[in-house]
Structure 1
């Protein structure tokens, strides 16, 4: 029977064979996925390694990227989320229940703390803050369920005593979640680090940063090596309808081939800036894990492979420079653009008031307003010149 022209537009009589190999994997865009027959429909389970049942559960495009991210980070199982914060919230929502205790470093990513405070207010979850440089400040009760780790910490970039903290958490049967955005799976293997081959239970990664590399894609991931834990997270992932765009996934996948080259280049440029920034009289302190004077330097040196570090460096202005002066400095920059995030081609700057961001007292931090530089792909000499000009303008 000859099909009506309208039907033929939907059900094409011919299809090109789909068995060629290309540099980039094919892009699958799907909400509905067609089952070959009822056996294929019913002889499947959501825990299957590749459950092609609906677009929210995954397509070859999303599974390819997830497998790649898990491989880079040293894990086995993966989930993708629309942003790094969405991935963080997935972990919190899945693993924390009323009455549980969660421990966070004082230099935690701000939106993570905000989400946990919301859970505390609504569900009675106890949020405890510890000093990531002092293991003894992490003193869990028998209600402790989850320990958040950041290496390096947000904004002030302290590298934690990762070995000591993970060992203590394991001794108390507490799950560990590492925000691995800074290390990107390249600075160290979160699932096999230290002489004792320690492992965190899961990593969260803002793929928005280095994996994307363009400053134009939002995405996050959760990676683990434990299948039972993965199934817990996957179930919550499905219940909450968390999913990502195939087009966005293809963009991140395309950028992965250059991620290590970009990471190392930006880290090298950052070290060059670090050495110059330390000589500038306007700064009371320069913060970077690779610098011997920075808090946690010894822990960074012990953990990070080949001296790897990300393209972030922070400075604390001397106390005589008030908010108006530091704002004037930021506004005077030309190549550095005022904006959040990092890992893209354009260098960024952001200013912070640490007093409003920290719970504990930290004697290792100087008094003053903090500015964080996120180093892009510009030549470091040009970036130094840009900072030099801005310092001159607001010092005159």
Structure 2
């Protein structure tokens, strides 16, 4: 029981009068964790707004930590507005749920990130939303798929796993001419906001899997949604709010801490991947083809060269179809530095096998097994030596 005029210690610990002095700054943005946000009075509770980020209302609607990250990502993406999401896929879902309604159709490139197809096949279909596929390397197939029912068109560059690079400006022009009612969305994860700015080509909204290069550690999940148009931002933000999406403050801190080195890491992984891609072209006939946008002869190389000089840290090896899949699996299992795992953009190099024909519905897959390599931050020479040893073992097993 408290003495008269003195509060109990338990109360004092919760309602302590001390406030630290203002003006503290350091290289790292402060971590603000909140569900409840305090207001100085009822008038403030009624007047504070989160949509324009002029004030704080509730943890899901933003804190100084998340507002700061969103502002820096807007600079990275060349956007005016950014929202954070728990993953890249959830960011993609917010765009779909904002734009599409029952009876609408969404168009997806056949080489899109496969979970995007699965979302269209299942959840969107269950809500009465149709989807059609087009070949991103053939703009005429996009034009043929457009119609008054199309309200959303997804673009991706390069294509998932097989890394074809489409003519992005031509695709955007095609949509604007044939379906001006459609919103154009772009997955900017590969470009990381550094290789090129998709908004310069006229897209309406981008999503970014911050899990990849902005995080850079392979240890957290986050996504972002970016746009320039105020009205579209409000629609997206309200969908985001109604879904109750939020990110952890410590995850936001991790991305903020990694952003200053993003350009350095991206450039290093890009340079390493190019060296490895060029080396891999000398490994015929075991490696039949190397897929990497910066390589002449890789599908869409000219389109990449027209808009970009950066090329991220991904490449794909197309193996001789005479090599059985289990032998390719053994090749991957025998690598010492390349680990086996999904995702990319982290410090550790990764290798994953695919049967590309299973990924495509419109044809255009490669015969035999393909192996996508994510290049990390290890020594390029060491990575080449690891791959060289693996290929030599593979050849000896014939």
**What interval of TM-score do these two structures reach, taking the shorter chain for normalisation?**
over 0.9
Residue number in structure 2 paired with 1:368: 368
Give how far 1:285 is off: 1.0
Give how far 1:121 is off: 3.0
| CA distance, structure 1, for counterparts of residue 219 and residue 253 of structure 2 | 13
Which SS does the other structure have where 1:284 is aligned? strand
2:272 is the alignment partner of 1:266: no
In the superposition, the TM-score normalised over structure 2's length comes to 0.95
Residue number in structure 1 paired with 2:341: 339
| CA distance, structure 1, for counterparts of residue 54 and residue 150 of structure 2 | 33
Query: Residues 315-339 of structure 1, C-alpha deviation per residue, up to 9 Å, x if partnerless?
Result: 1101111111111111011100000
| CA distance, structure 1, for counterparts of residue 21 and residue 49 of structure 2 | 29
2:157 is the alignment partner of 1:151: yes
Residue number in structure 2 paired with 1:195: none
2:224 is the alignment partner of 1:221: yes
Query: Residues 200-246 of structure 1, C-alpha deviation per residue, up to 9 Å, x if partnerless?
Result: 10110000000000000100000000111111111111111000001
Residue number in structure 2 paired with 1:256: 259
Residue number in structure 2 paired with 1:204: 207
Query: Residues 164-209 of structure 1, C-alpha deviation per residue, up to 9 Å, x if partnerless?
Result: 11112222221111100000000001111xxxxx321011000000
Give how far 1:47 is off: 2.7
Unpaired runs of 5+ residues, structure 1, are 193-197
| CA distance, structure 2, for counterparts of residue 286 and residue 188 of structure 1 | 23
Give how far 1:249 is off: 0.2
The within-5 A match list for 1:182-197 is 182-192=190-200
2:391 is the alignment partner of 1:391: yes
2:240 is the alignment partner of 1:237: yes
* Alignment RMSD (CA, Å): 1.1
| Among 149, 162, 171, the residue aligned to 1:165 | 171
The ranges of structure 1 where at least 4 consecutive aligned residues each deviate by more than 4 angstroms after the TM superposition are none
Residue number in structure 2 paired with 1:18: 22
Which SS does the other structure have where 1:266 is aligned? helix
- Kept after mapping to 2: 8 A contact 1:217/1:252: no
Residue number in structure 1 paired with 2:45: 41
* Higher mean displacement: 119-128 or 57-66: 119-128
Residue number in structure 2 paired with 1:354: 356
- Kept after mapping to 2: 8 A contact 1:212/1:255: yes
Give how far 1:120 is off: 4.2
| CA distance, structure 1, for counterparts of residue 55 and residue 234 of structure 2 | 13
| CA distance, structure 2, for counterparts of residue 142 and residue 381 of structure 1 | 53
In the superposition, the TM-score normalised over structure 1's length comes to 0.96
Query: Residues 282-316 of structure 1, C-alpha deviation per residue, up to 9 Å, x if partnerless?
Result: 11111001111011111111111xx1111000011
2:12 is the alignment partner of 1:8: yes
Residue number in structure 2 paired with 1:86: 90
Between the two proteins, the alignment pairs up a number of residues equal to 387
- Kept after mapping to 2: 8 A contact 1:102/1:145: yes
| CA distance, structure 1, for counterparts of residue 50 and residue 223 of structure 2 | 21
2:184 is the alignment partner of 1:176: yes
* Higher mean displacement: 9-18 or 130-139: 9-18
| Among 274, 292, 295, the residue aligned to 1:291 | 295
The within-5 A match list for 1:34-73 is 34-73=38-77
Which SS does the other structure have where 1:204 is aligned? strand
Which SS does the other structure have where 1:36 is aligned? coil
Provide closer, same or farther for how the CA distance between residues 85 and 120 of structure 1 changes in structure 2, counting only shifts above 3 A.
closer
- Kept after mapping to 2: 8 A contact 1:86/1:220: yes
Which SS does the other structure have where 1:49 is aligned? coil
Query: Residues 108-141 of structure 1, C-alpha deviation per residue, up to 9 Å, x if partnerless?
Result: 0011110111134312212111111111101201
Unpaired runs of 5+ residues, structure 2, are none
| CA distance, structure 2, for counterparts of residue 235 and residue 155 of structure 1 | 33
Residue number in structure 1 paired with 2:147: 141
| CA distance, structure 2, for counterparts of residue 275 and residue 240 of structure 1 | 46
Query: Residues 68-125 of structure 1, C-alpha deviation per residue, up to 9 Å, x if partnerless?
Result: 1111110010110011111111111221111111111111001111011113431221
Which SS does the other structure have where 1:170 is aligned? helix
| Among 306, 312, 315, the residue aligned to 1:313 | 315
Give how far 1:380 is off: 0.6
Give how far 1:46 is off: 4.3
- Kept after mapping to 2: 8 A contact 1:50/1:63: no
| Among 96, 114, 119, the residue aligned to 2:123 | 119
